[in-house]
A and B are shown apart, each in its own frame.
Chain A
Amino acid sequence: MTFRARHLLGIEHLAPEEIRTVLDLAETYVELNQRTVKHANALEGMTQINMFFEASTRTQASFELAGKRLGADVMNMAMQHSSVKKGETLIDTALTLNAMHPDLLVVRHPASGAVDLLAQKVNCAVLNAGDGRHEHPTQALLDALTIRRAKGRVQRLTVAICGDIAHSRVARSNLILLGKMENRIRLIGPPTLMPSGVADLGCEVYQDMREGLKDADVVMMLRLQKERMDGGFIPSEREYYHRYGLDAEKLAHAKEDAIVMHPGPMNRGVEIDGELADDINRSVIQDQVEMGVAVRMACMDLLARNLRAERGRQAVGVMV
């Protein structure tokens, strides 16, 4: 079992065997979460602070539940209403919280790189719950777990990621993770929502959805992030749905047993047909939510082990 990281800032820093470690441990938590008594003690006595500088419902709830099931004291801070509004800088906020001796800090921030910056200033383990358009590592891990459970592996698959790639941290983290695990990745979307230079990152880029979906094992839809758009990226939602919305007709181009994923929240009728999203034979969207809690439990468990080990070494004065 390998997991060396001190923080979980992005998939970029994880080795393939570390990713496997997270997924394997998460499997055990999937099982735990299906029991009536869902308690474990991996984080017993530890303090977890969720700092969300950007609105979030599902990710925050998922982290909160994960922490509570592992026995941590969990505190939620909705930062968009707090001292940040009074002009406090990110670093000062971090130092203030650091003084309260948290053990795990879960951070979401609208600026890319903000969580990295914060991690440099605190003594606890930091989990990136999404920073700007950069990374959302637990989402990519839960997607990988969902794929592995549905397909039996998360390797040598053809995965199509469709939609608003430019504004999506989920796409970036998935692109990195699926690449590390040796999958074939296709990005599908209008050129205005495709970040420049992505073709150099080891994926195939398609503008035609039917072409891109051909023989795909996994179809990953992304939300159209209207709140991050500062100008017309697409002519209209109805034209977008016509060309890039996933419906049964377009999905027919993928493999017969292809699964449909979406990180949520969904815009039904914009990027995905509502009926398709609810089709339990194709859609694994609810599984993703379930895996989310388990994966976050696994990540926090592993980081807590490393944190304890590090503190143990410091306490006995071992050179590291």
Chain B
Amino acid sequence: MTTLLTNARLIDPEAGTDTLGALLIEDGVIARIFDTPDGVPDKSPTLRRRDADGRCLAPGIVDLGVKIGEPGERHKESFRSAGLAAAAGGVTTIIARPDTNPAIDTPETLEFVTRRAAEACPVRIRHMAALTKGREGREMTEIGFLLDAGAIAFTDCDHVVTNTKVLSRALTYAKSLGALVMGHPQEPGLSGGAATTSGKFASLRGLPGVSPMAERIGFDRDMGMVEMTGVKYHFDQITTARALPPLERAKNNGFDVTAGTSIHHLTLNEFDVGDYRTFFKVKPPLRSEDDRLAVVEAVASGLIDIISSMHTPQDEESKRLPFEDAASGAVALETFLPAAMRLYHAGHLSLPQLFRAMALNPARRLDLPQGRLAEGAPADLVLFDPDAPFVLDRFTLNSKSKNTPFDGQRMEGKVLATWVAGVQVFGAE
């Protein structure tokens, strides 16, 4: 089927442009891009025209680091519910995390989730595998077999491999196979038991805090390991100003490193926790406003490459506890784009800059053809209205878990339609 989307604001993160035009979808790929709003006169009898009414058309989001509850916690999120949430949020490629129960650390488990996801998930999904068995930091996983079975990257998620001998071997082995490793920059000694970032707020609330320096120290250690092994490395979340100068040095020194951050760290700060609101408990904890602004700036300059939702579903039971005891994480697949629009409306980031960090850069880092608004690229697209206002009601979310920090908040930015490989998976026809 051929679809012509006319009169659309085309957000091209590669060229950095935001211009009115039209786009032709044919055989699941972007066949042509027109710089006139009307595209071409209708020639083919099968051509379907759709007027985008001046709304934004961007490459679908590639979300690096989504937690799905399969296997082990399907009551929190299934491939089906995560896929529906992703489609509704304009996420066209999910890069799933292996911090499941059990962890995705064998080719057999990887095959299981790959099969389950293919049956149930309406958007593209690729899986990461654990770097060490059981994410326990003692023995590396079968990195070769896992790569053959389709693992797109290796990570122990928020578990830091503390034994540097184990880590150096795993990274050396990964390097020899050209695998990408994703790490969590954090010094676990300092961050053990912490529920917030140390400072005035943590002190007032009497909550155990972690110094923001724990991230920097973790970063420095990981960089040492990268320098030692030469592995391709991605830092999952850089959330503090103090970690930015060493990141810049590492990039300038030519190491194959990239860095991400989460949408929550870009749009919320430590004070949002307020009276012990556990939906605001994430890992690492929300930071000071100064840190938030520094990280936003680093995304704008391109120093931080990738923004992720860090979607982490938690059921009510895991969150309705005293703050220290409550589980960490927030669902974000459906609020990712509206939250990102806060940065756009605040004048911090342009739409092409946002989609560079949310689609283009993650796809590039993972060697995927997605993330581009270019002829020949897969027709994974999101049509959205950046200005549409709404008040978020968490019970309207598609995710099985409703733990969003944005509940009851005014948001701007609505996804109108989502296409994966040219097939519409969300929105009115």
* Contact (Cβ within 8 A) A91 B320: yes
What does the 1/0 interface line of B185-227 toward A look like (CB < 8 Å)? 0000000010000111111111101010000000000000000
* Contact (Cβ within 8 A) B322 A113: yes
Q: Verify if B275 is at the interface (C-beta below 8 Å from A).
A: yes
* Contact (Cβ within 8 A) B199 A132: no
The segment from A73-81, A140-148, A196-204, A239-247 found at the interface with B is A196-204
Tell whether A132 pairs with B324 under 8 Å between CB atoms, given A172-B206, A197-B199. Answer: yes
What does the 1/0 interface line of A101-119 toward B look like (CB < 8 Å)? 0000000010111101100
* Contact (Cβ within 8 A) B321 A197: no
Q: Verify if B79 is at the interface (C-beta below 8 Å from A).
A: no
Q: Which residues of B contact A90 (CB under 8 A)?
A: 321-322
Q: Which residues of B contact A169 (CB under 8 A)?
A: 206
- Interface residues in B, total, Cβ within 8 A: 22
* Contact (Cβ within 8 A) B324 A112: yes
Q: Verify if B145 is at the interface (C-beta below 8 Å from A).
A: no
Choice from A131, A132, A197 contacting B200 with Cβ under 8 Å: A197
Tell me, rounded to whole Å, the shortest Cβ–Cβ distance linking B316 to chain A: 10
What does the 1/0 interface line of B394-413 toward A look like (CB < 8 Å)? 00000000000000000000
Tell whether A196 pairs with B276 under 8 Å between CB atoms, given A111-B324, A112-B207, A113-B323. Answer: no
Choice from A117, A132, A200 contacting B206 with Cβ under 8 Å: A132
Report A107-138 residues with CB < 8 Å from chain B CB. Answer: 109, 111-114, 116-117, 131-135
Q: Which residues of A contact B317 (CB under 8 A)?
A: 89
Tell me, rounded to whole Å, the shortest Cβ–Cβ distance linking A132 to chain B: 5
* Contact (Cβ within 8 A) B322 A117: yes
Q: Which residues of B contact A131 (CB under 8 A)?
A: 206
Q: Verify if B325 is at the interface (C-beta below 8 Å from A).
A: yes
Residue of A nearest to B324 (CB): A111
Tell me, rounded to whole Å, the shortest Cβ–Cβ distance linking B263 to chain A: 25
Q: Which residues of B contact A198 (CB under 8 A)?
A: 200, 203
Report A194-242 residues with CB < 8 Å from chain B CB. Answer: 195-198, 200-201, 230
Cα of A12 to Cα of B209 in the assembled complex, Å: 20
- Interface residues in A, total, Cβ within 8 A: 25
Q: Which residues of B contact A135 (CB under 8 A)?
A: 206
Choice from A113, A117, A196, A230 contacting B193 with Cβ under 8 Å: A230
Residue of B nearest to A132 (CB): B206
* Contact (Cβ within 8 A) A111 B322: yes
Tell whether A89 pairs with B209 under 8 Å between CB atoms, given A112-B276, A113-B275, A198-B200. Answer: no
Q: Which residues of A contact B206 (CB under 8 A)?
A: 112-113, 131-135, 169, 172
Choice from B200, B275, B320 contacting A89 with Cβ under 8 Å: B320
* Contact (Cβ within 8 A) A195 B320: no
* Contact (Cβ within 8 A) B204 A196: no
* Contact (Cβ within 8 A) A196 B322: no
* Contact (Cβ within 8 A) A196 B321: no
Cα of A112 to Cα of B322 in the assembled complex, Å: 7
Cα of A315 to Cα of B337 in the assembled complex, Å: 48
* Contact (Cβ within 8 A) A113 B204: no
* Contact (Cβ within 8 A) B205 A197: no
* Contact (Cβ within 8 A) B321 A172: no
Report A273-304 residues with CB < 8 Å from chain B CB. Answer: none
Cα of A134 to Cα of B207 in the assembled complex, Å: 7
Q: Which residues of A contact B198 (CB under 8 A)?
A: 195-197
Q: Which residues of A contact B321 (CB under 8 A)?
A: 89-90, 117
What does the 1/0 interface line of B310-353 toward A look like (CB < 8 Å)? 00000001001111110000000000000000000000000000
Q: Which of B275, B321, B322 has the most CB of A within 10 A?
A: B322
Residue of A nearest to B325 (CB): A111
Cα of A116 to Cα of B207 in the assembled complex, Å: 14
Tell me, rounded to whole Å, the shortest Cβ–Cβ distance linking A129 to chain B: 15
Tell me, rounded to whole Å, the shortest Cβ–Cβ distance linking A222 to chain B: 14
Q: Which residues of B contact A133 (CB under 8 A)?
A: 206-207
* Contact (Cβ within 8 A) A109 B322: yes
* Contact (Cβ within 8 A) A114 B322: yes
Closest 4 CB pairs of A and B: A113-B276, A133-B206, A134-B206, A111-B322
Given A113-B324, A196-B198, A197-B201, 10 new contacts (CB under 8 A) = A89-B320, A112-B205, A113-B275, A117-B322, A195-B198, A195-B203, A196-B200, A196-B202, A198-B200, A200-B200
17 A–B contacts, CB within 8 A, in A order: A12-B204, A89-B320, A90-B322, A91-B320, A109-B322, A111-B323, A112-B276, A113-B275, A132-B206, A132-B207, A132-B322, A133-B207, A196-B202, A197-B199, A197-B201, A198-B200, A200-B200
